[in-house]
Structure 1
Amino acid sequence: MDVNVPRRLRPGPLSHAAGYLSLHSIAAWFVFPQRFDRATAILAKERNGGAVSPGQAKSHFGHRLFVEIDPATLTHRLDEKHVDEDGHWHWIGDHFLDADDWSGRLSPLTRSPAHREIVEICRTRHGFREGRHYRAYVRSLEQRRPVRRNGKHLDSIEKIDAYFRYYVDLIENIERAGVVPRNRFQHSADTGRRHRGIRSLWHDLVERDIGIAIGADGRLVRHTSGKHRLAAAIGLGLKRIPVEIRLVHLNWLEQQMAVFELPPASALQKALEEHCFG
């Protein structure tokens, strides 16, 4: 199999069923395609903004939104927040379909401090104290400007060490077992239970699978959660990782509608089944 071709990844049945039942009734599932098609038609006229709840989309499309990809194909991330012409902030994580221009909101993963930090720890491992990021955190502490990470201030050497040990453990766990889906990740050794003093319980509870978006041209970009796990996968040179499709650009969807000669919801389902992206 070509390692660049995404492979479908089905989430655990218990996790999928729980999410489905908590979001929508069976009746809502059946009417979703009509609602999705209407939302697509409105976006096609306005050519801006977003529509469709990510929860509703996940409930309907289910396992088709979970795939495995080569992490090396993800080179950019989509900024989750942006400012409109009136100076108002918007977060695009609250919709599944988007029609805006992303060109000014895509940035290389290598520009992310968190990404660079994790890639460095992949190299230094338990010698993290020799790394550039560790030394920078110590300097910030000495200047009485401790950095804040994972909801905690690293205001002592012990906390800085614990922070780096957490990611050494995460990286070594991923090296042994790969990046596992969240329904299994919750029960694995890299959940942070041994590092509770340096990582809040909230961060574990809200953790999700690595999120991706399908751009206007079909290119995949990182979107929302999973920046540390993705960086670790890239730093370790992994060839396959599980990801979840959380956002779809209208232009790409319209291309699939033309190719398959189907209405929006059916075209998207067909495209996801045949992995017509990447």
Structure 2
Amino acid sequence: MQSAAGVALLCRIPFPTLTRVGVFECVPHRSMTDAFPSAALAGRPRYTPLIDVAEIRAVPAMPLGRKLAVATAPLLRPGPRLEACFARAFDRIEAGLSQRAVRVEFAERIFADDLRILADPARLSHQLLDVVSGVAERTRLSHWFLDRGDWSRALMPLSASEVTAEIEALFSAPGRIEESAAFAALLARAESGAPAVRNGVSLADGATIAAYFAHYDALRRSIEQEGFRPRTEVDRQTARAFFGSRVRSRKAERLERDIGVAVDADGTLLRLCGGHHRTAIAQRLGLPRVPVQVRLVHAEWLRGWIGRTGLPPARAIAQGLRHLSACLGAVLAPLVPVLAAVPLP
């Protein structure tokens, strides 16, 4: 096994530094400003999350630009031309001409498997809220791959989320979920006429709420027994077992993806849209790593990697993501076997 000093030398900041406490473990990295002084976000638009349901619904989930991106992305061929387009998009952000750029579907074509990395779920402590208000606009951050704003006010601790409390209830009250505070809270909302919505399904009565908990209890047992796999490795038979329940449509399962994450200006991973329940289950089970997909990158983090490597933007970002994945692998591979698994919704 490599020494802590050897791995730390390989995986230098801004990503997790290493320490030895019985075994190797990742500890929070020091601020990227220690390595890249340009990381200050002074003067950048500071986002405020939209909380009101009516305001959120007013921001279209699939505007025309996103529809075009979804339709045309499969036609794009990765290579120098796409990399040059990515560089121009980054230059516009750097020049202050754009606040954000590059639809996430285009980024998936440019970077492909480089976006899929392993992450310690315990380090996913905050969620970047998707629908936000800037200086003069409202947007869904999950539609984009590069952004230059100040995200600090749009972060929510995952420990404070309703989904985390609901998954905790599955573990703390096995077989007695109807007696839990989480069940009571959902039932109270249903009886008040403002039911909670999970995966697009309204939890409008006790039977639907019970089905919701039963669905995720089955997922919990699946992960406990078989592990946690990337979506691309889930076989059809396994996925079919979760199709078409009253709280999970076939369409929702078909569109499910890996846990989504964003890379903040200082290199911190934040959960972003997708995999909320799976993240909570992985954290509660104490899994050492889970597959995630990077879907949003802060432009300041990318600037740091361009300065560090001297590479053009597309290659610098790929290098940064490979570095992050290699760091996690160097720490975790000697400690645990590869987890074969089932990442269902």
TM-score normalised by L of structure 2: 0.69
Q: For structure 2, list consecutive stretches of 5 or more residues without a partner in the other structure.
A: 2-23, 28-69, 329-345
Question: Which residue, out of 191, 207, 210, partners 1:161?
Answer: 210
What is the identity, as a one-letter code, of the residue corresponding to 1:40?
Answer: F
Corresponding residue for 1:96? 145
1:247–1:141 distance in 2 versus 1, CA, 3 Å: closer
Superposed displacement of residue 146, structure 1: 4.0
> Where does residue 311 of structure 2 map in the other structure?
262
1:53 matched to 2:103: yes
Look up the SS of the partner of 2:246 in the other structure.
Answer: coil
Q: Which residue does the alignment assign to 2:223?
A: 174
For the residue of structure 1 that corresponds to 2:79, the secondary structure is: helix
Q: How does 1:190-201 map to 2 (within 5 A)?
A: 193=242, 196-201=245-250
Give the distance between the partners of 2:223 and 2:126, measured in 1 at CA: 22
In the alignment, which residue of structure 2 is the partner of 1:12? none
Alpha-carbon distance between aligned partners in 2 of 1:243 and 1:254, rounded to the nearest angstrom: 23
Q: CA offset at residue 188 of structure 1? A: 5.6
Cα distance in 2 for partners of 1:111, 1:244 equals 23
TM-superposed CA distance for 1:3, in Å, is: 5.3
Deviation for aligned residue 1:192: 5.9
What is aligned with 2:83?
A: 33
In the alignment, is residue 250 of structure 1 matched against residue 302 of structure 2?
Answer: no
Report the more deviating stretch, 92-101 or 135-144. 135-144
1:16 match: none
Distance, in Å, in 1 between the alignment partners of 2:313 and 2:305 is 8
Q: After alignment, is 149-158 or 260-269 more displaced?
A: 149-158
**How far apart are residue 127 of structure 1 and its match?**
2.3
Q: Deviations over 1:236-276 (max 9, x none)?
A: 11111000011111111111111111121121122222228
**CA distance, structure 2, for counterparts of residue 144 and residue 94 of structure 1:** 31
Secondary structure class of the residue paired with 2:257: coil
The RMSD of aligned alpha carbons is 2.6
Task: Give structure 1 regions of 4+ aligned residues with deviation exceeding 6 angstroms.
Answer: none
Matched, 1:211 2:290: no
Instruction: Write 1 or 2 for the structure with the bigger share of helix.
Output: 1
Query: Residues 217 and 22 from structure 1, CA distance in 2 versus in 1: closer, same or farther, beyond 3 angstroms?
Result: closer
The structure-2 alpha-carbon separation of the partners of 1:194 and 1:260, relative to structure 1 and needing over 3 Å to count, comes to closer
State the identity as a percent: 32
Letter in 2 for 1:176: Q
| Inter-partner Cα distance in structure 1 for 2:193 and 2:143 | 37
Show structure 1 runs of 5+ residues with no match. Answer: 6-18
Q: Report the TM-score when normalising by structure 1.
A: 0.84
State the Cα distance separating 1:142 from its structure 2 match. 4.5
Matching residue of 2:20: none
Structure 2 counterpart of 1:52, which letter?
A: V
Q: Equivalent residue for 1:15?
A: none
Distance 1:45 1:22 in 2: 26
Output the CA distance in 2 between the equivalents of 1:250 and 1:194: 38
1:164–1:34 distance in 2 versus 1, CA, 3 Å = same
